[in-house]
Amino acid sequence: MGPDRSFQNLLLLLALALCSAAVSGEGSRRFWVENDTFWKDGAPFQIVGGDVHYFRIVPEYWKDRILRANALGLNTIQTYVPWNLHEPKPLSWEFKGFTDIESYLRIAHELDMLVMLRVGPYICGEWDLGGFPPWLLTIEPTIELRSSDSTYLSLVDRWWGVLLPKIAPLLYSNGGPIIMIENEFGSFGDDKNYLHYLVEVARRYLGNDIMLYTTDGGAIGNLKNGTIPQDDVFAAVDFDTGSNPWPIFRLQKEYNLPGKSAPLSSEFYTGWLTHWGEKIATTDASSTAKALKRILCRNGSAVLYMAHGGTNFGFYNGANTGQNESDYKADLTSYDYDAPIREYGDVHNAKYKALRRVIRECTGIPLPQLPSEIERASYGLVEVQKVASLFDVIDNISDPLKVAFSEQPLSMELMGQMFGFLLYTSEYQEKHSSSILSILKVHDRAQVFVSCSHGDVRKPRYVGIIERWSSKTLQIPSLSCSSNVSLYILVENMGRVNYGPYIFDQKGILSSVEIDGIILRHWKMQPVSLSAVGNLSKLQLIMQMTDAQASKVSIYGDSENKLHDVSLYLNEGISEGPTFYEGHFHIDSESEKKDTFISFRGWNKGVAFVNNFNIGRFWPAIGPQCALYVPAPILKPGDNVVVIFELHSPKPDLIIKLVKDPDFTCGQIEMHAEISVKLKES
């Protein structure tokens, strides 16, 4: 994603445009820019592209989503390559399933689509840490990301040394679909040596025929910092859809070599991102179409960001910050983006049809028929059952080889817990009155529990929450223990910052922890493994059901304080604590497998799994997303298992609902819609 309505650029880094699928005997194929025009095989070419990210779509739907992009009138697909998916651990390479980029590129080629490949190494894109592997944050001495830091460059070289040879056969000149390679840097820094180095590495593996490009916001400062025309790197621009494109395209020419500046908006915004606690971002179909027409009907080129948003499955959503790193805003699980191809593949909507009409009018090219709707099913109500609280099973789901002891708390990354949750435990001597717990720096959300050290440690008392964006202190009531008090702090990594100056975003407890001004020492840290939650019920720890208190939120006040206000409500003790629940539903046959959504209305906050697949985070107490998308390929004929890790209190009737449609009307948004709109307008 690029410049914004409040963030005017997204860092993307030097991008390479690669196309797909190798076809032998086509040595004459060539894509280049000349006379301020793109040329393909000797003929002028207008890029009508769109972002469709392979890692946000189940692989079984890759072909379907590209076909829908093709029916929109697109001739080019743009996608990032997230380093963190492909090298989750140092020297551990992943290129299967969601990470089988070569298969994705071949599918694009088979469907006659060109590809603009944004290989990073930084991608931004509302993706955890901007696509960087979080283990980069553990390297000592600390490395400087996106710079000429020698250690950082050596790791980039190693990564590209694996990736680029895989895509070299898929370059357009080699018979494949890849025409260009890129990323945006000008809004981040001005280290031209770094950019030159990336060009050198790209050329080493890909040769001189591939067009390299940069993407930067259409302003002098960004283009001055991010472009390198002397390296024969094409400078593309991006800008708000409310801007007049042609003055910006004229500015673009100043940062390209003479005759080398075909007008290209490499990120034409069809919608916008949404953070938890905000009103769902939408843009008007008609005005979006008019903005695109201003480019295409004057023979400019554009890439829709997004053509199809998809889903931030698992723990891979990114986050943003405001004026400081505590002003933290995590992205939703859904990456629908209000794009013309909706999260679940729908194209029978006003935006898709409006953009399609403009593309047909401006290009004059006949378009395929609209694809049929993807069938969705409502499987109805599913009753779930409590399996166990986290404290019942923590020793079973925490690898003993990864449990650590330290004088001071360690970050999640140093613990090897790159995503999810980490449980910190220590002890302190209790006073007769209440105590004040203080944590100066926690990323991102800590739930606090206490128990007498010689008491029932499986049922600690819930105290409250300390969050990155709000209060850093918490009052702990006296337990009148005959022994020390055990303090438990469960920290959730809600997604690393993917854009801006605070991108070096470590997770966990990142400072000392104090009780009444005294620093606590001797910490035990247990990573919470959620990789096999489907086996929890086999532990035979099903507990007697307790009456869960209702968790309805009724809050009044400023919409800017939504997260803080809900936290105050939970701090009053209305919480059952982190607990696993399990439910089952039956599908009769393969033909009955359909896309569906799980509605979490009435639940609080947590993570959900379907057949051991992490479908993402839910937080209906805050909103606006109420339901999580479940693609049909995740389901199976027969018994399907849903496991819910609820952090606070479940819906009182222990029911979830499998519905046909998404729902973005949860939380306080319903009460504060008018205020939210006014804030956005201001």
User: Which residues are part of the catalytic machinery?
Assistant: 184, 267
According to the 3-state scheme, what is the secondary structure of 87-141? Answer: CCECCECCCCHHHCHHHHHHHHHHCCCEEEEECCCCCCCCEHHHHCCHHHHHCCC
Spatial CB neighbours of 614, under 8 Å, sequence gap ≥ 6: 313, 314, 315, 530, 607, 608
For the record, the structure tokens of 489 come out as 């702090």
Interatomic CA distance for residues 151 and 142, integer angstroms: 9
Tokens, residue 613: 């697949």
Give the residue carrying structure tokens 């002891």.
405
Note the residue count of the chain.
Answer: 682
Long-range contacts of the stretch 517-521 (C-beta < 8 A, 24+): 517/438, 518/428, 520/426, 520/427, 520/428, 520/487, 521/407, 521/408, 521/426
**What is the distance between the alpha carbons of residues 650 and 550, in angstroms, rounded to a whole number?**
8
DSSP 3-state of 484: coil
Non-local CB neighbours of 108 within 8 Å, separated by 6+ positions: 19, 20, 21, 66, 77, 114, 115, 177
Terminal-to-terminal C-alpha distance of the chain: 22
How far is residue 133's CA from residue 416's CA, in Å, rounded to a whole number?
A: 12
DSSP 559: G
CA distance 200 to 230: 13
364 φ, ψ to 5°? 70, 15
Q: Are 492 and 567 in contact (CB under 8 A)?
A: no
Sign of the torsion angle spanned by Cα atoms 445, 449, 453, 455: negative
Distance in angstroms (rounded) separating the CA atoms of residues 323 and 502: 10
* Dihedrals phi, psi of 394, to nearest 5 degrees: -55, -40
Q: At what angle do helices 350-363 and 285-296 cross, to 10 degrees?
A: 20
Neighbours of 370 (CB within 10 A): 14
